Amino acid sequence: MRKVLIAYRLKPEGLKALEGKYDITLPVDKSYFTKEEVLEMIPDYEVLVPNFSFYTDKQIMDRAKKLELISNYGVGFNNIDVDYATRKGIAVTNIPNSTREPTAEFAFALLLAAGRRIGYYDRKLRAPEGVSWGVYAESGMRVYGKTLGIIGMGRIGQSLARRAVASGMEIIYHNRNRLDETIEQQYNARYVAFEELLKTADYISLNAPYTPQTHHMIGEEQLKMMKSTAVFINTARGSMVDEKALAKALRENTIWAAGLDVYENEPRILPELLELDNVVLAPHAATKTIEDRINMSIEMTQNIVGFYEGTYSVSRVN
C-alpha cells in the first residue's frame, strides 16, 4: 500500500478517495507538520501533499528516496522546486479547478471592498472618531461602467471577468498570448498591451501565475503608470508585487486604493501596509470556506488516484 504524507491537517470528508487504498499520515493534534518533522518521515513515503505555504525544496526531495508524486494542495506551485522535482523524476500536480470560482469571487469582493470603501467605513464606524455622514465626504469609487484590467486572463481571470461584466464593467486584459476570439466575445473583452492596461484601467486585478519572470512585475514604475484613481487587486502571489513600492504609492496617493490577499513574506505583512486606510487586507483567504477547502482536498486526492490508477484526469505541472 502506497504511503501518503499530508503536511497539513485536512478534513476527512475530502480524503475519502484515498481510504482503504493508501496509507495516510497527517497531523492529528496540531495544524501542520514542521519541515523538520517532514524531513524525518519523508523517506518512507511515495506521495507528499504540501499546502501552498509549505516550501518543498531540494533538501526534502533528496531525503525522499521513495517519493514519486508531490500532489500540491493549491493552484500556485511556487512553493515547490518544480525544476528539481523534474530532474529527480518526481511528478508535481496542482488543483486549478476547485480554486477557480472562490478565488475569482474573492477578487471581486476585494474590488468592491476597496473601491466602495467598505472596509474603511467598517473600521471608522467602530472607532471613536467615527466617519463623516456628509453627502460627499469620504466617498468611494463607482464600479458600474468602469474598466477592469485583468492581468492574466486564465481560468480565474475569466471567472472574475464574468462577475465584472454582470456588474456593468468593461473588460480589458493582458496575457502572454491573446485568447481565442470566441473567449473574448463571451466577456466583450479587449486585448491590450501591458502598459496600456496600466494606464487606462480603473480597476486592475493581478491573476497571472508566479514565475521568475513575473517577480515584482508590479513595481514603482508600473504603479506610476496607473491612474491616480486606480484600485489595484492582488489574489495571485505576493512576490509579483514590490510591496514597499505599493505601500509608497498608496501613502502618496499615486493610486487610490488596493485590495490584497497575498503578500511577499506570508504570514508577515509589511508594517507600512497595516498603517494605511486605503488598503483592504485579507489573510490569503480566497479559497477559505469549508466547502471550497474540502473541494480542494477532493481534487488533490483525485490527482493521486488518477496518477496511480488512471481513473481521474491529472493536473500535472511538470
- pLDDT, tens digit, for every residue of 193-234? 999 999 999 999 999 999 999 999 999 999 999 999 999 999
pLDDT at 174 over 90: yes
- pLDDT > 90? residue 52: no
Boundaries of every domain in the chain? 3-98+289-309, 100-281
β-pairing, 69-71 vs 47-49, is parallel
Mean pLDDT computed over every residue of the chain: 97
The catalytic residues are: 237, 266, 284
> Once rounded to an integer, what is the mean pLDDT over residues 125-142?
94
53 pLDDT more than 90? no
* pLDDT class of 276 with cuts at 50, 70, 90: very high
- What confidence score (pLDDT) does residue 90 get? 98
Whether omega before 267 lies within 30 degrees of 0, making that bond cis, reads: yes
pLDDT per position as a tens digit, 106-126 = 999 999 999 999 999 999 999
Percentage with pLDDT > 70 across the chain: 100
**Number of neighbours of residue 92 by Cβ within 10 angstroms:** 21
**Topology adopted by domain 3-98+289-309:** Rossmann fold (3.40.50)
User: Alpha helix locations (H) across 138-284?
Assistant: 155-166, 181-187, 194-200, 220-225, 243-251, 271-274
pTM over 0.85: yes
Rounded Cα–Cα distance for residues 177 and 175 (Å): 5
The listed CATH number (3.20.20.140, 3.30.1330.60, 3.10.20.30, 3.40.50.720) that belongs to domain 100-281: 3.40.50.720
